[in-house]
Amino acid sequence: MSIDELTPAPVQTINGTGPYAVPHAYGGADELVVTVITLTSRTNLTLAQITLSPASSKTSGSLYLETDVAAQYDGAKIAILRRTRIEQGYVGDNAREVGLQGQLDRTILATQDADRLIASALRTAPDQGPINAVTKRPDERGGKIFAWSDDGYSVVEGPHLQAIDAVIKSAPLEFPLDLGWTNDPVITATYDLGWTDETT
């Protein structure tokens, strides 16, 4: 079959059991990562918590949530990410097919290598959108702290390590720390909590 350009599933709002669009081909539920996103957490759902229709597809399909999952996360966001197993099942019979199989095998091996390297890299969640490329030259960014722009989509240069070291050396911490609360009226005031006559 031919493969069209990937159309990622949009981040959708949970409202009932579904359907939630899966606008691309997929091999099965075990090749999708389904994440529920709230203001405070990201939770990957298990295979028992989702159903796909059809079970696999060469074009697109729909995802459904179990009733209790839909109720628990009502109003949260759901992100559907395809995570295809990197494997190759074609076995050639004649010399020409064996040669083709060898090339397919090497392609899969290289893809597996790349996938492993990507898994070890600093990453952001795919549903948050792409990150802008770092454009500063090595001599411009060398020795500086890694920092994010205000919108969170670009890496910007922070202060130089030498500048940070100079600040630390100019004002070293002394213990016990003086937090400036000595004369704070909130700290020094006496409070009557109404417990004067309490026997317990």
- Return the domain boundaries, the chain: 12-119, 138-188
Instruction: Report the amino acid identity of residue 111.
Output: T
Distance CA 120, CA 17 (A): 35
Mean pLDDT (whole number) for 32-56: 94
The mean-pLDDT minimum among 34-38, 82-86, 169-173, 191-195 falls in: 191-195
User: CA distances (Å), 13 to each of 21, 49, 127, 146, in order?
Assistant: 11, 17, 13, 33
The token pair that represents 161 in the structure block: 């390590």
CA atoms within 13 A on the CB side of 88: 16
**pLDDT, tens digit, 9 for 90 and up, residues 117-172:** 888 888 888 888 888 888 788 888 888 888 888 888 888 878 888 888 888 888 76
CB 54 within 8 A of CB 64: no
CB 53 within 8 A of CB 19: yes
Range with the largest mean pLDDT of 6-10, 59-63, 80-84, 148-152: 59-63
Q: Is the pTM of this model over 0.95?
A: no
